[in-house]
């Protein structure tokens, strides 16, 4: 059995445990189950660019709200404007999460591009979300054999080209996994066998300056079907890969909403936009407020305004920032409200809302509202003391007959 080495590619038996040949973890390196609360794209930066809450809040939100399904449908609209060129359709997911949006989009992609090889690179620092995503991939490898799937924990400036910055490139862990067999059952068994590998490759450490988690070693996991190796070899990334440009970049909630437009553009939007191929499109989805969820928040914190940079402001900032020669063919499309803004709902029972609203519905609704508004734990602790949030949540649910939220989208594209 080959070991995952820190400098070179390693063939890894997918159904067996794998140890790493890299350096031993320091005492500051950890892989806690309930960690990954924030992510920064540079260790020396004082603000968080990607927001995660604790696992309980996150999982409750994604299982009780329809946001992921609605986002996948919205991004899928852009597929009709995507025109892949040889040798493959190239997709970059700027925040894979638990893989629900990407998995749903891949079904749509197979409908439109059933016989084209795909290269999908997905960024995710959370080992828990990588595990959840691997569970969903077996059916996709069965449905679309000509698939190369890459998962990485690198930051926004590194991930599109799978190239770590010089300070960390010697610690690179590169895992090349050829899935054997031809059935989703076989693929699923082997993907589950990768859990020890990702537990090693997706370790985190805590920044002494910011307290935020960072990767301990940059890692890339390259997955493909062994029976398709001959066909897929030309598009398969390797440690010395020069990178590529993408036909579609999907960036769903890729940053903390409360940071400035300037930092959102500099650290997230700009590097992703520059990774676009000719004719490529980047779809950005962000929360915008103006919904019953924010009504709940305002009943507790009347002056709170987390959504300070809408799509128009962000695109103006992006145009100011993207002024290099390589950026001259980029186009910035805010869309009209009718095209840009969409709603998603929390799943509730209509009969329950007509009667007494149960505790589980109240708590799920409150969780969704404060999760979307990204309320800090310190403020939440204060709100829990007097219980006013319960009455506030019940009042809004009754007024609107349920709970819904608004997201907005915008597109940056590169002319053909």
Answer with the residue of higher pLDDT: 38 or 158.
Answer: 158
Q: Is 404 helix (H, G, I), strand (E, B) or coil?
A: strand
Structure tokens at 344: 């998603």
- pLDDT > 70? residue 266: yes
- pLDDT > 90? residue 247: yes
Give me the mean pLDDT over the 146-162 stretch: 97
- pLDDT > 60? residue 51: no
Domains in the chain with CATH codes: 36-53+67-289+303-337+409-414 (3.40.50.150)
pLDDT value at residue 349: 77
pLDDT value at residue 210: 64
Q: Which residues of 348-370 are buried (b: 16+ CB within 10 A; e: fewer)?
A: beeeebeeebeeebbebbbbbbb
Answer with the residue of higher pLDDT: 348 or 217.
Answer: 217
User: Do 152 and 92 touch, CB atoms closer than 8 A?
Assistant: no
Residue for token pair 């997230």: 268
pLDDT value at residue 354: 66
- pLDDT > 80? residue 25: no
Model confidence at 356, pLDDT cuts 50, 70, 90, reads: confident
Query: How much is the mean pLDDT over the chain?
Result: 87
pLDDT value at residue 358: 85
pLDDT value at residue 55: 79
Instruction: Give residue 123's Cα distance to chain centre.
Output: 6
- pLDDT > 90? residue 123: yes
User: Do 51 and 370 touch, CB atoms closer than 8 A?
Assistant: no
Model confidence at 248, pLDDT cuts 50, 70, 90, reads: very high
- pLDDT > 60? residue 265: yes
User: Do 49 and 41 touch, CB atoms closer than 8 A?
Assistant: yes
User: Do 371 and 58 touch, CB atoms closer than 8 A?
Assistant: yes
Give me the mean pLDDT over the 389-407 stretch: 95
| Rounded Cα distance, 115 and 32, in Å | 41
Q: Is 94 exposed, middle or buried (0-12, 13-18, 19+ CB in 10 A)?
A: buried
Which pLDDT tens digit goes with each residue over 289-305? 999 999 999 999 999 99
- pLDDT > 90? residue 56: no
Name the pairing type of β-strands 330-333 and 404-414. antiparallel
* Global pTM value: 0.87
Which pLDDT tens digit goes with each residue over 361-391? 999 999 999 999 999 888 999 999 988 999 9
| Rounded Cα distance, 53 and 68, in Å | 17
Which pLDDT tens digit goes with each residue over 187-235? 999 999 999 999 999 999 877 876 677 899 999 999 999 999 999 999 9
| Rounded Cα distance, 219 and 41, in Å | 15
Helix (H) or strand (E) segment spanning residue 259: none
- Which residue, 128, 154, 121, is CA-closest to 50? 154
Which pLDDT tens digit goes with each residue over 72-106? 999 999 999 999 999 999 999 999 999 999 999 99
């Amino acid at each position: 059995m080959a070991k995952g080495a820190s400098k070179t590619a390693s063939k890894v038996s997918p159904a067996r445990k794998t140890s790493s040949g890299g350096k031993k973890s320091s005492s500051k390196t950890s892989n806690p189950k309930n960690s990954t609360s924030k992510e920064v794209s540079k260790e020396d930066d004082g603000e968080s660019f990607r927001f995660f809450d604790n696992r309980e809040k996150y999982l409750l939100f994604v299982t009780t709200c329809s946001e992921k399904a609605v986002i996948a449908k919205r991004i899928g609209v852009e597929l009709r404007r995507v025109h892949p060129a040889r040798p493959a359709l190239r997709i970059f997911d700027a925040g894979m999460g638990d893989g629900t949006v990407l998995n749903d989009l891949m079904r749509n992609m197979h409908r439109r591009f059933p016989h084209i090889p795909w290269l999908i690179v997905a960024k995710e620092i959370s080992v828990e979300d990588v595990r959840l995503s691997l569970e969903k991939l077996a059916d996709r490898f069965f449905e679309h054999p000509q698939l190369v799937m890459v998962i990485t924990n690198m930051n926004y400036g590194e991930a599109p080209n799978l190239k770590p910055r010089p300070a960390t490139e010697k610690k690179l862990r590169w895992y090349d996994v050829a899935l054997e067999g031809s059935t989703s059952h076989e693929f699923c068994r082997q993907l589950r066998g990768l859990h020890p590998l990702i537990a090693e490759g997706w370790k985190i450490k805590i920044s002494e300056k910011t307290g935020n988690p960072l990767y301990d070693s940059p890692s890339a996991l390259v997955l493909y079907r062994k029976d398709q190796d001959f066909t897929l070899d030309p598009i398969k990334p390797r440690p010395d890969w020069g990178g590529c440009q993408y036909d579609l970049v999907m960036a769903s909630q890729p940053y903390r909403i409360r940071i400035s437009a300037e930092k959102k553009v500099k650290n997230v939007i700009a590097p992703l936009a520059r990774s676009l191929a000719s004719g490529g499109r980047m779809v950005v989805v962000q929360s915008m407020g103006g919904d019953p969820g924010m009504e709940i928040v305002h009943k507790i914190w009347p002056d709170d305004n987390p959504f300070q940079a809408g799509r128009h402001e962000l695109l103006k900032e992006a145009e100011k920032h993207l002024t290099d020669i390589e950026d001259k063919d980029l186009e910035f499309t805010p869309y009209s409200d009718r095209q840009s803004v969409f709603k998603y709902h929390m799943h509730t029972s209509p009969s329950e809302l007509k009667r007494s609203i149960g505790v589980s519905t109240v708590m799920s609704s409150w969780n969704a509202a404060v999760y979307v508004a990204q309320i800090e734990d310190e403020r939440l602790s204060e709100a829990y003391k007097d219980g006013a949030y319960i009455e506030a949540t019940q009042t809004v649910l009754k007024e609107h007959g349920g709970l819904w939220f608004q997201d907005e989208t915008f597109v940056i594209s590169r002319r053909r």
